[in-house]
Amino acid sequence: MAGVMFCEPRHLYNIINQYRWRSRLTEPNYLCLLDARSQREFNESHIITAQRIVLSPAGEYLIPNPKELGYVRFCVVYDLDTSFFGRTDCQEEEIETGAGEGDALLHARNLEQFTRHPVLLLKGGYRRFSACYHFLKSQKILWMPQELDTFQPYPVEILPAKLYMGNFKQASDKQIQKDLKIKALVNISEQPVTLFAEEGKSLHVSVPDSLEADLFSFFPTISHFIDAQLDVGAVLVFSSLGISRSSTATMAYLMHSCRFSLQRAWKYLLKCKMNMRPHRGFVEQLSAWETQIYGWPITDVSEPNY
């Protein structure tokens, strides 16, 4: 069996907001999100795209599409306020057999025999998730494919309620800025954004997404700007597509201010945004940045690993 693991609210938020050319929620085998609360609670509000786990007439819990669960990348279960069993200092942790009780854990145990990947149990349940991400609550029970096609993903969350990474469209969306309480922008694209009129709240690094582009020279400026702005509110780092330049700048910040190696920053960011991918020139610049910070290159950036 694949097992059961805890899932931080931030991880589920990032799972929901993954996209390629459109939201990954449109993919039938991407996310199975299951609500273990009562019918009344579910009807009042639930996390978007969630299905409620129901009982059969015989009183047994019905497994939704057990044959299809084997192909689902993420199966997440939550109840009202899932307790924190065991350690709580890591994003995901395996739950030992017999650890605690609760509807969500019970359902997760029933589901793990059908899945290839660990079933994820949402820490803090619906109560904690909805407190952090109220804008992802819904009363809609059935989502049509065309509705998911038009779903606007939010920027992924890098540091809880502090640092986000996204694309140009998201940076231009006033509602997203309001929901995430974005106070400053780091624009790593050639096109300017004038959403913030307040002086000093926007940093524009106009760099093309090309092998010859120099982002390395701006790493100190970017890192110091983010550090200064995080004392005031949340910061959004973005580029045109939110894949190459923004991820390079974000990793440079994590290496500088969080003291991550390039390898650790890469793995950390990949969990936040699954299709992040700095091009080869930026990878070499990140390696040079690591050498400058630590005095020697810690990470082997030879292909095909990076």
Tens digits of residue pLDDT in 171-180? 999 999 999 9
Sequence ranges of the chain with CATH classification 3.90.190.10:
156-294
* pLDDT at residue 75 in the model: 94
- pLDDT at 188 exceeding the cut of 60: yes
| Burial status of residue 207 (CB atoms within 10 A of its CB: 0-12, 13-18, 19 or more) | buried
With 50 as the cut, is the pLDDT of residue 86 above it? no
For residue 199, the model assigns a pLDDT of 63
Interatomic CA distance for residues 129 and 124, integer angstroms: 7
What confidence tens digit (pLDDT) does each residue in 246-292 have? 999 999 999 999 999 999 999 999 999 999 999 999 999 999 999 99
Q: Dig out the tokens for 127 from the structure.
A: 């109560």
**Ramachandran class of 109: left when φ > 0, alpha when ψ lies in -120 to 50, beta otherwise:** alpha
71, 255, 256, 271 from 289: Cα distances, Å:
40, 8, 9, 22
What does CATH list as the number for 4-149? 3.40.250.10
Residues of the chain with CATH 3.40.250.10: 4-149
Question: What value does the mean pLDDT take over residues 72-85?
Answer: 85
Residue 207: pLDDT above 70?
Answer: yes
- 10 Å CB burial of residue 185 (0-12, 13-18, 19+) is buried
156-294 — its CATH code? Answer: 3.90.190.10
3-state secondary structure of 137: strand
What is the rounded average pLDDT for all residues in the chain? 89
* CB distance 222 to 248 below 8 Å: no
What is the percent of the chain with per-residue pLDDT over 70, rounded to a whole number?
Answer: 90
pLDDT higher than 60, residue 28: yes
Q: Whole-model pTM?
A: 0.91
Which residue in this structure is represented by tokens 């009183």?
59
